[in-house]
Amino acid sequence: MSGRTAVQNAELALLLEVTGTPKPGNVDRERDFEALRFEHFMAGAVGARPGLALAADGSAVGHAFERAVAGMADQSAGNTQFGALLVLAPLVAAASEGELTPSGADSVVRETTVDDAAEFYRAFEHVDVAVDDPPAGMEPLDVRRGSDAISALEERGLTLFDIMARSADVDGIAAEWVGEFARVFDAAESILAAHGPVPDRASRVFVELLAGEVDTFVVTRNGREAAEEVTRRAGAVLDGEEDATDLAEELVARDINPGTTADLVAGALFVALERGLVV
């Protein structure tokens, strides 16, 4: 067991996630997008640390998340790890309470408040995040309105958990929030059970997660058909029918980025580190 704190492990998880390669469609240590590069993810991980420290110190999850996003955004490319921080903030809080378990994480998110929801909305003012248009009649709660939506939140008495529950059927991170972070904890166990360098384990788990469910970020940016294609082809990689590196190069060229899957891997790496993963 290392002597690292939960905050150090959270920062390390973000760094390890981006070093894994190949991760088809994602920035890694061998692949960049034109305006979003490996270095930006490194800087984002370092910048997020003060916000994650707030989560560890008992601050409200929403405030800790907003501060982590603000720090993450202090690099020239904008959004690098918004979703990963939304996964990590409650997990770090649970770890600081000695309850880094599915039920412990569930308790943290269910105890969030309307103020936490307001901070979540403020976080959207720091970076552009790809999200779907809200359903008809829900325009006042569009997260892209940032602080302008807070009065609507307060009128409806919606907590951050409530907001996640409203999106769980279309957003993979929200689904984790309302589902005891099941995929994150399962992926952590896969990382712990594997052998070899940690970035290689992360890469393998990334492909496994991608093959298991469609990536909701791909659905939002590229459409359902593209997301289903990516899931099918990730399965082909696992079956030895397709090369992971070739798929990675193709998806980057097509600007198809399974970002939600990467966010889950970051959370899984944190859990694995907290449970004794040796680095």
Residue 37: band (very low, low, confident or very high) from pLDDT cuts 50, 70, 90: very high
Percent of residues, the chain, with pLDDT higher than 70: 100
pLDDT at 167: 94
pLDDT at 132: 87
CATH superfamily for 6-274 is: Triphosphoribosyl-dephospho-CoA protein (1.10.4200.10)
pTM of the predicted model over 0.85: yes
Residues contacting residue 76 through CB under 8 Å, at least 6 positions apart: 40
- The region of weakest confidence among 38-47, 134-143, 185-194, 210-219 is 134-143
Whether cis (ω within 30° of 0) applies to the bond prior to 22 is yes
Cα separation, 198 vs 189, in Å, equals 13
**What is the DSSP secondary-structure string of 228-257?**
HHHHHHHHHHHTTSS-HHHHHHHHHHTT--
pLDDT at 135: 81
Tell me the β-bridge partners of 28: 31
Q: Are 205 and 190 in contact (CB under 8 A)?
A: yes
pLDDT at 227: 98
* Domain spans, the chain: 6-274
Mean pLDDT of 254-263: 97
17 phi and psi angles, rounded to 5 deg: -60, -45
Mean pLDDT of 118-135: 94
133 phi and psi angles, rounded to 5 deg: -65, 145
